Amino acid sequence: MRIFFPFNCLLIITAFSLSLSASLVSAQDKAPAIATLLQVEGNVEAVTAKSPRGRRGNDGMLLHAGDQVRTSEESKATVEYRDGSRVRLFQNSEIVLNLSEEQSTSRRTFKYQLTLKRGSLRGRFLKGLQRTKIRTPTALIGVKGTSLRITDNNNNATVSLTEGQLEVSNLSSSTILNPGQWLPDFGRTDDLTKKVGPIPNLLYLKTDVYELDFRNEKSKQLEFSVQIQNNVSGKILERSGLVLFESDYNGIRLPKRFLLNEKGFARVLVEIDPTRLEDPGFKGLITIRAFMDGEGFDDIAEGSLVLKIRNLGKKRTILLDPDKGVVKKND
């Protein structure tokens, strides 16, 4: 038996569908953005309620809950959340920003959930300010720490941790990762407790000056050496790759992404401005971190070093005598 719908019913159904679609888009417009797309390189695509077929991603694009970000060959992008936590997505990868909720606590904290559908990422989440869960086709990862890397392709995953703590689970087991540990090449049903080991290699940072004195109120320029070395032997690993620096200190000018040569080594310059005394939260320590900016480097732990500012908050006082010149100097 054939069923015929009056033409006006079709119009009502079509109008309802359009109205519902418009309502969903309008609702997302009113919802606050949860993140921003930054450091876009190559062909990056964002799938949103407004653009369900995808649109070209660009620096400064606002992202909402439910949005997806995809990278193609030789493409990368960074997703920055409202609290400053960041996810660096490498080539041929896709993530879904499932959830971002501000928690009703005494401190401004966030709850994040995201899915790595394929590919690889590096994440840095602010310690103590968020609770994050990352789902992949192979595992569920509870983030209790800060700096981690995840790769998942064809139901085979690798997870490594530089700072903090991770709880990693698959269909048959779960385990805890502590700083400097990784889980290489595991599947959905592997016993994860038997897979945990130390990350084999380290991105090592070194400079000649670790204490800075800004009483002359002039900026300092430091030369850093960066190299990949084995964590056990200390032997330099001859392996090229791109590196990114980052720091939480405002008055610092870091090099743009740079390349380690075929011997796994590079020298770069970092310029640091005097601290602003009006910043009450600054404790006199500047942390600089470095990580490999690309997929295939899960076996290399991130590098970091700490610089200390001497005489923080103290100013140089010079007393002048018209005849004798400088008669007293307080340091």
Q: In the structure, what pLDDT confidence band is assigned to residue 104 with cuts at 50, 70 and 90?
A: low
Q: Do residues 147 and 239 both lie within one domain? A: no
151 bridge partner residues:
120, 158
Q: Is pLDDT at 99 greater than 80 in this prediction?
A: yes
Going by C-alpha positions, the residue among 132, 131, 197, 193 that lies closest to residue 161 is: 197
Residue 259 belongs to what domain range?
201-310
Q: What is the pLDDT of residue 20?
A: 46
In a domain, 13, yes or no: no
287 bridge partner residues:
306
Q: What is the pLDDT of residue 13?
A: 40
Q: Do residues 300 and 210 both lie within one domain? A: yes
> What residue spans of the chain are helical by DSSP H?
7-30
C-beta of residue 310 within 8 angstroms of C-beta of residue 213: yes
Percentage of residues in the chain having pLDDT higher than 70: 81
CATH number of residue 134's parent domain: 2.60.120.1440
CATH number of residue 225's parent domain: 2.60.40.10
pTM, full prediction: 0.83
In a domain, 276, yes or no: yes
150 bridge partner residues:
121, 159
Q: Among the three residues 144, 167, 198, which one is the final residue of a domain in this structure?
A: 198
Q: Do residues 108 and 124 both lie within one domain? A: yes
In a domain, 320, yes or no: no
Q: Do residues 83 and 165 both lie within one domain? A: yes
Q: What are phi and psi of 131, to 5 degrees?
A: -125, 120
Q: What is the pLDDT of residue 24?
A: 46
| Tally of domains in the chain | 2
